[in-house]
């Protein structure tokens, strides 16, 4: 199973570059193996050059890495999310153009699109700026993703999470679309958001009904075992 997850993480890294969500060595991707371990992209390696064997195995609790390559500097953030959100199995951190514009302005994006509300939740929050990999960054992200599947990082980028890596990638696409719509809406007035209650209901519907996956489907789509996950 581990070699399949390595391939998924490696391919996701190449995919975010091809779709313009990140470039070069920027951003990072991880996937949970079980409640104790995860696989994450290595530090300082261009996604176009990495192979499955370059993906780093890391203990979620101790942050100890196995192998010669160093894991991403933002490994503490990934590990903390997996501990905080046991239903999450895939995390993708990117630097998308419109997401970064909004993050640089430190503006929260209200729930202005139905697919945004469904996949992300009741709006995009912005975690305070913090040095990558720092405890402050981890604390800010955990607060900003509460009841949500994504957040923006002030002056930095975006973090998107999902029950599978495919879902986390889709959340990335919707985040970038939503940030563009938010920026563009000011050219014709201002976007009119859903109420918090309506957006929360749409997110709940998506998470619990529309996108409901049984355990076998989750394992087939993500290649991630649910063993040990609460």
DSSP state of 34: S
Number of residues that this document lists for the chain: 230
70 C-beta neighbours (distance < 10 Å), count: 13
In this prediction, residue 69 carries a pLDDT of 93
Mean pLDDT confidence for 104-109: 98
Q: Among residues 158, 155, 29, 150, which one has the least CA distance to residue 99? A: 158
Q: Among residues 66, 71, 65, 79, which one has the least CA distance to residue 135? A: 79
Mean pLDDT confidence for 138-146: 97
- Just give the CATH number of 2-222: 3.40.225.10
- Three-state DSSP class for 57? strand
Q: Is the pLDDT of residue 227 over 50?
A: no
In this prediction, residue 209 carries a pLDDT of 83
- Three-state DSSP class for 227? coil
Q: Is the pLDDT of residue 149 over 50?
A: yes
Q: Is the pLDDT of residue 1 over 90?
A: no
Q: Is the pLDDT of residue 105 over 80?
A: yes
First to last CA, the chain: 19
86 C-beta neighbours (distance < 10 Å), count: 12
Of residues 125 and 212, the one with the higher pLDDT is: 125
Token pair, residue 60, equals: 């979620």
* Lowest-confidence segment of 34-43, 177-186, 206-215 by average pLDDT: 206-215
> pTM of the predicted model, to two decimals?
0.90
Over residues 31-71, the pLDDT tens digits come to 999 999 999 999 988 888 899 999 999 999 999 999 889 99
d(CA 183, CA 171): 18
Where along the chain do its domains lie? Answer: 2-222
Q: Is the pLDDT of residue 229 over 70?
A: no
Token pair, residue 106, equals: 């430190």
């Amino acid at each position: 199973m581990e070699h399949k997850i390595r391939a998924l993480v490696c391919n996701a890294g190449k995919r975010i570059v091809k779709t313009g969500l990140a470039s070069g060595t920027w951003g990072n991707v991880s996937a949970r193996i079980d409640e104790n371990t995860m696989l994450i992209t290595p530090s300082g390696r261009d996604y176009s050059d990495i192979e499955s064997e370059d993906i780093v195995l890391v203990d979620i609790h101790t942050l100890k890495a196995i192998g010669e390559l160093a894991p991403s500097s933002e490994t503490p953030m990934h590990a903390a999310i997996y501990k905080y959100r046991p239903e999450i199995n895939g995390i993708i951190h990117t630097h998308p153009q419109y997401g970064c514009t909004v993050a640089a302005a430190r503006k929260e994006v209200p729930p202005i699109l139905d697919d945004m509300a469904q996949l992300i939740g009741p709006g995009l929050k912005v975690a305070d700026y913090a040095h990558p990999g720092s405890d402050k960054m981890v604390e800010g992200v955990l607060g900003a993703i509460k009841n949500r599947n994504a957040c923006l990082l002030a002056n930095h980028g975006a973090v998107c999470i999902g029950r599978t890596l495919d879902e986390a990638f889709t959340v990335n696409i919707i985040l970038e679309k939503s940030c563009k719509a938010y920026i563009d809406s000011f050219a014709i007035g201002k976007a009119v958001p859903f109420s918090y209650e309506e957006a929360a209901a749409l997110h709940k519907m998506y998470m619990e009904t529309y996108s409901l996956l049984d355990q076998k489907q989750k394992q087939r789509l993500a290649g991630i075992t649910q063993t040990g996950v609460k």
